[in-house]
Chain A
Amino acid sequence: MAQTRNEYWSEIRSVYKDPKDYVLAGRGNAYVRIDAEAKVTGTAVYTDDVYLPETWYCKLVHSPYAHALIKSIDFTEAEKVPGVKGFLTGADFPEGHNLGNPEAFKELADKEPLCRRKVRMVGDEVAAVCATTEEAAEEAARLVKVEYEPLPVLLDPFDAMALDAEPIHYPADQPGTANNLSIFTVMKAGDPDKAFEEAYYTDKSYYKTQEMVHAAIEPHGAIAKYENGEYTIWSTTQGAYVSRYWVAWGLGVPESQVRLIKPMVGGGFGGKLDVFAHELCPCKFAERTGHPVKCILKRDEVFKCTRTRHPISFQIESAFSKDGKLLAKRCRHILDGGAYGGSGIAANTLSLICATFPYKVENIDMIARRPYTNHPASGAMRGYSACQVHFAHEIHMDEVANHLGIDPLELRHKNEITPYYTGPTGLEFTSCRFKECMDACAEAIDWKNRWRYPKGSGQAIGMSGSGFMSGTGFPVLVTPHYCSSTTIVRLNREGYAVVYTGANDIGQGCDTVMAMIVAEELGLNMDEVKVVQSDTTTTPWDAGSFGSRVTFLGGNACHHAVGDAKLKLLKHWAEEWGCKPTDIKMADHRVFLPGDAEKNISYNEACYGYEEKNFGRCVAGVGAYNHEGDKDVYVKNVGNYATAYSFSASAAKVTVDMETGAVTLDDFIFGHDCGRPLNIRAVEGQIEGSVLLGFGFTCYEECVYDKDGRHLNPSFRDYRFPTALDMPNITTKVCSEYDEEGPLGAKEAGEGSTAPVGSAIGNAINYATGLVIKELPITPERLWKALREHERTGKTEFGGEDLPEKFANMPPLPKRYNV
């Protein structure tokens, strides 16, 4: 009989190093990133740096209309441009093979590689041009004439749900119910109605967040070649295997005939999860022309036709006892889905999950709807739904505290999640240092003396808290083990090890983490571990970089793989030496029985000896890790979504120019519970980047559209994210304990760390101005407008003024079998 998962794992874990012997994990300066030298010398190869002889170029033709029927496409003028080699339209791809993101929701895949009959957003791809130079391809793309028949443009998600709204994809399947729903989610627990009836304090508030973009400095792109009946693509992807799946599906060829290689990726933040026309069209052209074909998007194309962060409108009702216990939450989230689903559909459920913690709440009644609109498709973005939700819910928390006359920090402490708490919908929390995170921030910012900046004085401090899943269980592709990561580790008798990891390093440094885990367990130096990563031909399966899963799932897979190899090696030597495998240690390039000078050999000798007795076979280990969740969790919306949860708190000090509305972020403290930090500098780096993203989200960034859905600021000049001069100093307080399930005790640090930033800054701005701002971004002009209106009318709450009426008049949801 086969071993159970626990039996197998406990045997592997028996040979893991004792954490007190760690020489690399948790040490800040013990090692550097393995890709650092390549990156500082310019030799690191990104997609656009892949140069193959005789490469031709592809350029896409985009729709200038947000919603229209395609009447005709005319290549006559474009064909005359010297160097033009071919064109593609939607008809060149198999019909019905639409692109999506989670395979489990394949029926929701809704994006044609190139639009056949209809465009749904400005920037939708309608044709592609291939030419011998990039310049010729651009020129020809400009000359492609497409005739459109415009349709009504729906930019407001509430308008899109109206009973008489023009269907963007398909009409409502039940008459009299909301139109244009891409997905909706209902989550209920306890008896919220009763709790609201009995509560001392209840309220109803509205909040709104805006559309922002990932703005990775590397634009999206791909280069493809076609040889021996196989497509090979180098692409700016966050998940080589997932991209490969959709590329093969979009082309209508078996996955065995598509090889996807992820070179260095210049930032993803969720924006490079979906599969795009710029990946499929070069494949098709490569097949047709026999040349490698490259397609790198220009910056305005990245803005207009990749993905965005969902704007969310919130209606939040809360019920509290007199002493500040959170009794119930009733909330409605409306997510502007934009034109397509893709990686965006999970945002809906996630927005509700995020609202159930980091505070204990037993009674909940939550519904999220994601209507389609004619904005660009909303997708996954770092701190997926959490940034928006924790902005709204944490601004709300301070409002409640002020109504109840309880200090906001104390109100948070009264309700904070504690270790090993199980939430009402089945979230199983394990290690949790949320309290410690908040206390560390409060102390560093001197919260107890916060009124040293009187309310309305133009200066203030604000705090907030949040939680996030560490290692999402969201199933992107259907596999035997549900959203898994796999890794192979090979030990070489010449004194090194090779790790073959599917984990996709997009800049966060997971390659370095994988190398460190292997080096730590085998007692090797960092430069004695070679990493082979994210190539569907050479590395094993991995679901990709999303949902803060890489360190936790990929790291555990790697730890299991090296454990598997180590176990084999130590079993061999235990037999030779007449001891137990667990007695043997590996450190400093040696394999030895402590206290026995005779039984002490080099790593090389140990591998050599193993191979000698095993017919020349090398030591190799295979590891995998997955979240053992309920596969139906996303349908039932009850159950545990992740293997562990991270917690964060933030404290911000701001100065507001009361005349101009300009906000300066003077100081920022971040407390994070990431389990054992595998490298303190890497954790700090993630947090510092999160503060930039969160500050941009709160005060700077917004995609602006005209009434026809045209993007008015698709450049780094007009879509502003913070420069070095705008950013404050950031202090990171790691408040962690060893997580029992995490790889070497770690949890996540990349995404959850974005979640509390906006509300800490927002709360600080609110105390500095004496107002309550409920809508993002809080640009100087928006704040100026509120300050001036307050002077004139005494009004104190600003933002989301249109929402009460809109929420009150939403058409009903369709009836669904399982709710």
Chain B
Amino acid sequence: MAKRVISFKLNGVDRDELVLDNMTMVDFLRKQMHLTGTKRGCEEGECGACTILLDGKAVTSCTMLAVEADGHEIVTIEGVRKDGVLHPIQKEFIDKWALQCGFCTPGMIMSAISLLNENPNPTEHEIRDGIAGNLCRCTGYVKIVEAIASAAKIMAKEVAK
């Protein structure tokens, strides 16, 4: 089976990795890099549990080949906390009890990061639209929407400083 070395940035670190051509990004992250925060929920782009950032944009890693990362930057949930400090979205998810079983949480947070990058001041509807590709069976989304709205406000204040 064909394989090749890809050069890319993973959670802030430059890497060269030998990957199989037919390996999905989610399997590469989990099986080869042992970054198990990215979850396999459906493996067909329908649940969002495997969402990662590709060049800062949230995409499902089950509908992406590992080789496609060559020359790009990947951030997984493990790369969101910087220098031991939680991202405001992570912090608000904790404080607002915006998670239960937690299986959708990493993907949900990656989508929220991407959403707030694109739209720092979203309406409630825009938040719901931004995470509509992340299914959650536990929470009814109420506290998740609340946490993202609250994080947006906190981040806006940080930018203002």
Residues in A lying within 8 Å of B, measured CB to CB: 29, 32-33, 35-46, 48-49, 51, 214-219, 264-269, 296, 298-299, 506-509, 679, 681-682, 684-685, 687-693, 715-717, 721, 723-725, 727, 729-730
Contact flag A219-B102 (CB < 8 Å), given A41-B86, A725-B129: no
Knowing that A41-B86, A679-B97, A716-B44 are A-B contacts, what are 19 other residue pairs whose CB atoms are under 8 Å apart, sorted by A's residue number? Answer: A32-B97, A36-B93, A40-B93, A40-B94, A42-B37, A43-B37, A45-B36, A48-B30, A51-B36, A216-B101, A267-B101, A268-B101, A299-B42, A508-B100, A688-B142, A689-B138, A724-B131, A724-B132, A725-B128
B103 touches A724 (CB 8 A): no
B161, CB-defined interface residue at 8 Å: no
Q: What class of interface size applies to chain B in its complex with A?
A: 35 or more
| CB contact between A49 and one of B36, B44, B90, B137 (< 8 Å): that residue | B36
Contact flag A51-B86 (CB < 8 Å), given A217-B47, A218-B39, A509-B100: no
Chain B 107-129 against A: per-residue CB contact (8 Å), 1 yes, 0 no? 00100000000000000010111
B43 touches A689 (CB 8 A): no
A637 to chain B, nearest CB (A): 33
Residue of A nearest to B128 (CB): A724
Closest 5 CB pairs of A and B: A42-B37, A507-B101, A266-B103, A39-B102, A688-B140
B109 to chain A, nearest CB (A): 6
B135 to chain A, nearest CB (A): 6
Q: Counting chain B CB atoms within 10 Å of each CB, which of A217, A716, A725 scores highest?
A: A217
Q: Counting chain A CB atoms within 10 Å of each CB, which of B99, B103, B132 scores highest?
A: B103
Kindly identify, within residues 22 to 52 of chain B, every residue whose CB is under 8 Å from any CB belonging to chain A. 30, 34-44, 46-47, 49
Cα distance A654–B65 in the bound complex, in angstroms: 43
A323 to chain B, nearest CB (A): 39
B104, CB-defined interface residue at 8 Å: yes
Chain B: interface secondary structure? loop
Cα distance A265–B30 in the bound complex, in angstroms: 18
B102 touches A725 (CB 8 A): no
List 30 A-B pairs, Cβ < 8 Å: A32-B95, A33-B94, A33-B97, A36-B99, A39-B105, A41-B77, A41-B81, A42-B36, A42-B77, A44-B102, A216-B103, A217-B103, A217-B137, A219-B40, A264-B102, A267-B101, A507-B101, A507-B103, A682-B97, A685-B143, A687-B140, A688-B140, A688-B143, A689-B139, A689-B140, A716-B42, A716-B135, A724-B145, A727-B128, A727-B141
Q: Counting chain A CB atoms within 10 Å of each CB, which of B78, B90, B127, B133 scores highest?
A: B90
Total A-B residue contacts, Cβ distance less than 8 Å: 184
**B101 to chain A: which residues have CB within 8 Å?**
216-218, 264-268, 506-507
B46 touches A715 (CB 8 A): yes
Contact flag A42-B41 (CB < 8 Å), given A36-B99, A267-B138: no
Cα distance A41–B40 in the bound complex, in angstroms: 16
Q: Counting chain A CB atoms within 10 Å of each CB, which of B38, B80, B101, B128 scores highest?
A: B101
**B61 to chain A: which residues have CB within 8 Å?**
none
**B37 to chain A: which residues have CB within 8 Å?**
41-44
**B104 to chain A: which residues have CB within 8 Å?**
217, 266
A681 touches B96 (CB 8 A): yes
**A717 to chain B: which residues have CB within 8 Å?**
44, 46
B136, CB-defined interface residue at 8 Å: yes
A811 to chain B, nearest CB (A): 39
**A33 to chain B: which residues have CB within 8 Å?**
94, 97, 99
Cα distance A217–B42 in the bound complex, in angstroms: 8
Cα distance A506–B100 in the bound complex, in angstroms: 8
**A296 to chain B: which residues have CB within 8 Å?**
40
B23 to chain A, nearest CB (A): 9
**A266 to chain B: which residues have CB within 8 Å?**
39, 101-104
Q: Counting chain B CB atoms within 10 Å of each CB, which of A265, A299, A690 scores highest?
A: A299
Kindly identify, within residues 41 to 69 of chain B, every residue whose CB is under 8 Å from any CB belonging to chain A. 41-44, 46-47, 49
B97 touches A692 (CB 8 A): no
Cα distance A41–B87 in the bound complex, in angstroms: 9
A267 touches B44 (CB 8 A): no
**B81 to chain A: which residues have CB within 8 Å?**
41
**B80 to chain A: which residues have CB within 8 Å?**
41-42
**B35 to chain A: which residues have CB within 8 Å?**
42
**B128 to chain A: which residues have CB within 8 Å?**
723-725, 727
Q: Counting chain B CB atoms within 10 Å of each CB, which of A29, A44, A508, A724 scores highest?
A: A724
B105 touches A40 (CB 8 A): yes
**B95 to chain A: which residues have CB within 8 Å?**
29, 32
**B127 to chain A: which residues have CB within 8 Å?**
724
Contact flag A724-B134 (CB < 8 Å), given A33-B99, A41-B86: yes
| CB contact between A721 and one of B94, B125, B137 (< 8 Å): that residue | B137
B143 touches A681 (CB 8 A): yes
Residue of A nearest to B20 (CB): A135
B93 touches A685 (CB 8 A): no
